[in-house]
Structure 1
Amino acid sequence: MTDSTLLLESVMLMLIGMGIVFSFLLLLVGIVRLMSVLLQRFVPVIPAPQSPASAPLTSAIADDLIAVIAAAIARYRSRH
Structure 2
Amino acid sequence: MDELLSEGFSLMVFGMGFVIVFLTLLVIATSAMSRIVMRFEPAPVPKAAAKAKTMSSNPADDAQLIAVMTAAIHKFRNDRKGQ
Q: Per residue, is there more helix in 1 or in 2? A: 2
User: What is the rounded CA distance, in whole Å, between the counterparts of 1:45 and 1:71 in structure 2?
Assistant: 40
**Normalization by structure 1: what TM-score?**
0.65
Q: State yes or no: 1:13 paired with 2:11.
A: yes
Unpaired stretches in structure 2, ≥5 consecutive residues: 52-60
CA RMSD of aligned residues (A): 3.2
User: What is the rounded CA distance, in whole Å, between the counterparts of 2:12 and 2:4 in structure 1?
Assistant: 12
Show the counterpart of 2:54: none
Deviations 1:53-79 (A, max 9, x none): xxxx945543444446656847xx5xx
Percent identity of the aligned residues?
30
Stretches (4+) displaced over 2 A: 49-52, 57-74
Show the counterpart of 2:41: 43
